[in-house]
Each structure stands twice: as structure tokens, then as C-alpha cells.
């Protein structure tokens, strides 16, 4: 009997447990735990209403390793799916090791006091997970996650060698608010305001945040401005697919979003160092999060589609140079109708459920710490098609012109 413990009751956690409940042959018992019990209970009510499945809920502060270990021991899962914030990754990995269960997440560790993320902290757990005979699967969301699996799928079936890889993340959705982020505002703003980095000829090239813009015509969305950014899968792809000469990540932003962000930055509201306000220490970015709309409330008003995918140029089996574009289009309103969450949570929560299914069914096995591109892409890609995130591959006339 398979049991899973999901930690984190935000938009992504909500989608993941709804989709788990829709696959009762794989997920026999589901427990959702988070800092705020009422959020877990509200999700459990929705799961019951939509699927008829009863899930258990629990309160946990996942920064507390001893308490999390005790919860894991009480629930008795084979796998903990961490859908809390990147700050909790190491504490939950420690708790998984202490309790002897597998670990999975969707975002790499980030210290609270530094807007900086990299895999080194989590890769450092390699020996401990290996010795314990346990698997830690990192980054089973869309990006990272599906975009990494897309790359290995192209490598397995279309290109013997990938020379350049561009990941294009477009959210063509409109939530009707002046300014809101589609996932946790604190994490989102830290990511967007960080300097851009891409991998080229064996080294990292750093450029100022949001300084490189290109227009791209996204199917089902239309032409959008996209900006070069750093994103965590670049680091693991550069390590695990070392033949790739250039790896870049692009994300679309509307002019209104960028204008708000610029003003917020200029007035100091995106700072992550403490300031004294009324005799109390506050972090401006955390205060900003408190006044912005909660991403989970945007679902009912968001219209439009996301289009996220990879463009890879390389050498095909016949020796010729080819360029392939592999992508998924997801509709905000359809995602909301199915799970009560918009497409950004949906496109992350569905791959989180699939990654968990890969581990629980023994389809993906291994002892140690793994990134998505180290696994066989085929069973994951099959499930994407069957679980609400169908994808397509197109051959392009040639490499990207920029
Ligand atoms: P939310 O902020 O909506 O939800 C996070 C949840 O984690 C909240 O329920 C929060 O509790 C809970 N939480 C925070 N701290 C703790 C703690 N110490 N102990 C227990 N629970 C805690 O975020 P999202 O659902 O949008 O995102 C979830 C994760 O998914 C994030 O790590 C994000 O970076 C990642 N992500 C990954 C993507 C990908 O494609 N790979 C894309 C989008 C997101 P409370 O409600 O009390 O605040």
C-alpha cells in the first residue's frame, strides 16, 4: 500500500493532492501537512468534493526537523513530497533521512537571507541518501522538471547531440489585477530581480537582470516579449548534459508587471535585509508579500494560456543539423475548473504528482540525489499526456535567430 506525505498547502500543493486523489491506483493514502492547518483542511474539502477521496491533514512547521521527522514516522509514507518553500528543502531532506523515506521537491534550496539559489547544498546530500538506500528527486515541477525531461526526450528520440538549448516560459494569462505574481511573490520577485546567467562554452555568462529582451510568437498566446534570466535547471543541465554548448532560459513579462517591479525596487520594497518599522524588524519583501494578492486566489479570474517548452538545435541521427521545439500549452480556466487553481500552479503540481508516481511505482529508482534529466524520460512523458499536460514536438526551419 503506497502512502505519501505532501508538505505545503499553497497552489502547487493543492494541485498535486487533487491529481494524486484522481489516481487512486497509485496513491492509496495521501496526507497533506503545512504550517497553516486550515489551508490543508480547505484543500481536503475540495479534494473530497471533486474526487470523493478523503485525504488526511496535519499541521507542521517544516523548519523544525525533529517535528517533521516525528510527523513522517507517525504517517508512515514511502515518500515525502516537499511543496513548501525552497527555504525548507534541507530541513525536510534531513527529516527524510532520519525517518528513512524518499524525498522529492520542485524548487532548489535557497537561504532566506540571500537571494541566491544553487544545487550545491542539496547535491551535498548525495552520499547520505546513497548510504541510506533512499532517493531524493530534485525539481519535479515544470521548470525545473518538465523542461529538463523535454531535453532528455529530444536527446533520446530526435538528436544524438544537443548543441544549444533554449527554455522558453510564457505565461499569456491575465488575472485582472494591477500587480500580482502567479506563484509565491517572495520567491518570484527574488528570482526575477536576480542577475541573468546563461551557460556558454563551459562557463557562466552574467548580465544585468532583465537586460536582454527578444520577441517570440508563442502558439495559442501570440507574440510576447521574453527576457533572459537565470533559472536553476541551467545548473543541473550543464552538469548532466555537458555536450551542450549554450543553455539559456527566457521568461515572458508584460510591460505593466515590469513597471510595477521597477518602482517597487526603486522604493526599496523588494529588499530582503531587515529594516526597523515602529520598533519592529521587518523584511520589506515579506511585507510586500503580505499586501499582494495570494497566488491561490487568482485562479477564478485568470484567463488565457501558458506555453512552456524547449528549443534544441543539434545533430540528428542522419548527421544533419536539426532544430526541434517541444512544448505544452495549458489553459488557465481549464486548470481552474479541474482543480480550483490557475495554470501556473497546475503546470507545477501535475509534474509533482507524476514525479511522485514515478518513485512510488518503482518506475524511477536509485539511491542518492537525482535531477530530472538523469531519469528515463519516456514514462514521465506518457503520464504528462494522460494527466492534463499534453505536449507536442515540431521541427523548426533552423536554429533561433538570436
Ligand atoms: P505558496 O506560497 O502558495 O505555498 C507554499 C506553502 O508552503 C504554503 O502553504 C505555506 O504555508 C507552506 N509553508 C511555508 N513555510 C512552511 C514551513 N516552515 N512549514 C510548513 N509549511 C510551510 O507557494 P506555491 O504553492 O506557489 O509554490 C510551492 C513551491 O513550488 C515553491 O517552492 C515554489 O518555488 C515551487 N514552484 C516550482 C515551480 C516549478 O516549475 N518547478 C513553479 C512554481 C513554483 P502558509 O500557508 O502558512 O504560508
Those residues whose C-beta lies under 8 Å from the C-beta of residue 224, and which sit 6 or more positions away, are: 170, 172, 215, 216, 218, 252
Cβ 145 under 6 angstroms from ligand 1: yes
Determine phi and psi for 149, rounding to 5 degrees: -65, -40
Determine phi and psi for 217, rounding to 5 degrees: -95, 105
pLDDT of residue 113: 82
Atom in ligand 1 nearest the alpha carbon of residue 142: 40
Cβ 349 under 6 angstroms from ligand 1: no
pLDDT of residue 249: 98
CA 76 to ligand 1 centroid distance, Å: 23
Cβ 57 under 6 angstroms from ligand 1: no
pLDDT of residue 116: 78
Q: pLDDT tens digit string along 149-173?
A: 999 999 999 999 999 999 999 999 9
- Give 77 or 115, the one with higher predicted confidence: 77
Residue 12 confidence (pLDDT) above 90: yes
pLDDT of residue 143: 96
Residue 112 confidence (pLDDT) above 90: no
- Which residue puts its alpha carbon closest to atom 42 of ligand 1? 348
Cβ 9 under 6 angstroms from ligand 1: yes
pLDDT of residue 294: 86
Cβ 149 under 6 angstroms from ligand 1: no
Q: Which residue has the cell 482543480?
A: 339
Cβ 35 under 6 angstroms from ligand 1: yes
pLDDT of residue 17: 98
Is residue 165 within 8 Å of 311, Cβ to Cβ?
A: yes
Model confidence at 400, pLDDT cuts 50, 70, 90, reads very high
Q: pLDDT tens digit string along 301-314?
A: 999 999 999 999 99
Cβ 8 under 6 angstroms from ligand 1: yes
Cβ 84 under 6 angstroms from ligand 1: yes
Cβ 43 under 6 angstroms from ligand 1: no
Residue 115 confidence (pLDDT) above 80: no
Atom in ligand 1 nearest the alpha carbon of residue 186: 2
pLDDT of residue 396: 98
Q: What is the mean pLDDT of the chain?
A: 96
DSSP 184: -
**Closest Cα to residue 84, out of 25, 6, 157?**
6
Q: pLDDT tens digit string along 220-267?
A: 999 999 999 999 999 999 999 999 999 999 999 999 999 999 999 999
| Percent of the chain topping pLDDT 70 | 100
Question: What average pLDDT does the segment 81-108 reach?
Answer: 97
Q: pLDDT tens digit string along 170-194?
A: 999 999 999 998 888 888 888 888 9
pLDDT of residue 183: 80
CA 368 to ligand 1 centroid distance, Å: 24
| Kind plus residue range of the DSSP H or E element containing 120 | helix 120-123
pLDDT of residue 182: 82
Hey, what domains does the chain have and what are their CATH numbers? 146-334 (3.30.360.10)
Q: pLDDT tens digit string along 262-296?
A: 999 999 999 999 999 999 999 999 999 999 998 87
Beta strands at 305-316 and 321-331: parallel, antiparallel or unpaired: antiparallel
Q: Is 16 exposed, middle or buried (0-12, 13-18, 19+ CB in 10 A)?
A: buried
pLDDT of residue 310: 98
What is the value of pTM for the model shown? 0.96
Amino acid at each position: 500500500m503506497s502512502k505519501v506525505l505532501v508538505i505545503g498547502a499553497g497552489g502547487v500543493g493543492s494541485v498535486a493532492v487533487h491529481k494524486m486523489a484522481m489516481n487512486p491506483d497509485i496513491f492509496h493514502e495521501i496526507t497533506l501537512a503545512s504550517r497553516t492547518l486550515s489551508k490543508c483542511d480547505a484543500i481536503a474539502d475540495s479534494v473530497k468534493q471533486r474526487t470523493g477521496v478523503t485525504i488526511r491533514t496535519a499541521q507542521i512547521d517544516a523548519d523544525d526537523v525533529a517535528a517533521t521527522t516525528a510527523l513522517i514516522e507517525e504517517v508512515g509514507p514511502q515518500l515525502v513530497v516537499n511543496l513548501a518553500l525552497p527555504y525548507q528543502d534541507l530541513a525536510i531532506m534531513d527529516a527524510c533521512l532520519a525517518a528513512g523515506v524518499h524525498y522529492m521537491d520542485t524548487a532548489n534550496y535557497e537561504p532566506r537571507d540571500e537571494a541566491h539559489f544553487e544545487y550545491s547544498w542539496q547535491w551535498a546530500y548525495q552520499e547520505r541518501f546513497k548510504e541510506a538506500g533512499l532517493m531524493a528527486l530534485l525539481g519535479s515541477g515544470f521548470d525545473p522538471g518538465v523542461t529538463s525531461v523535454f531535453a532528455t526526450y529530444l536527446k533520446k528520440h530526435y538528436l544524438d547531440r544537443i548543441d544549444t538549448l533554449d527554455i522558453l516560459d510564457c505565461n499569456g494569462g491575465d488575472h485582472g489585477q494591477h500587480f500580482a505574481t502567479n506563484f509565491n511573490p517572495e520567491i518570484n520577485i527574488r528570482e526575477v530581480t536576480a542577475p541573468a546567467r546563461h551557460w556558454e562554452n563551459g562557463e557562466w555568462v552574467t548580465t544585468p537582470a532583465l537586460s536582454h529582451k527578444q520577441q517570440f510568437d508563442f502558439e495559442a498566446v501570440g507574440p510576447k516579449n521574453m527576457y533572459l534570466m537565470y533559472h536553476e535547471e541551467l545548473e543541473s543541465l550543464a552538469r548532466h548534459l555537458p555536450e551542450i554548448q549554450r543553455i539559456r532560459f527566457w521568461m515572458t513579462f508584460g510591460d505593466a508587471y515590469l513597471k510595477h517591479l521597477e518602482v517597487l525596487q526603486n522604493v526599496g520594497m523588494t529588499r530582503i535585509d531587515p529594516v526597523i518599522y515602529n520598533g519592529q524588524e521587518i523584511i520589506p519583501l515579506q511585507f510586500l508579500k503580505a499586501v499582494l494578492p495570494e497566488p491561490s486566489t487568482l485562479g477564478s479570474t485568470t484567463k488565457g494560456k501558458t506555453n512552456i517548452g524547449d528549443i534544441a538545435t543539434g545533430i540528428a541521427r542522419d548527421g544533419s543539423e536539426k532544430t526541434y521545439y517541444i512544448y505544452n500549452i495549458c489553459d488557465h480556466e481549464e486548470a481552474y475548473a479541474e482543480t480550483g487553481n490557475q495554470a501556473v500552479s497546475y503546470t507545477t503540481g501535475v509534474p509533482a504528482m507524476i514525479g511522485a508516481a514515478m518513485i512510488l511505482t518503482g518506475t524511477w529508482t536509485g539511491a542518492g540525489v537525482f535531477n530530472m534529466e538523469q531519469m528515463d524520460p519516456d514514462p514521465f512523458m506518457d503520464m504528462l499526456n494522460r494527466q492534463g499536460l499534453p505536449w507536442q514536438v515540431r521541427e523548426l526551419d533552423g536554429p533561433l535567430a538570436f
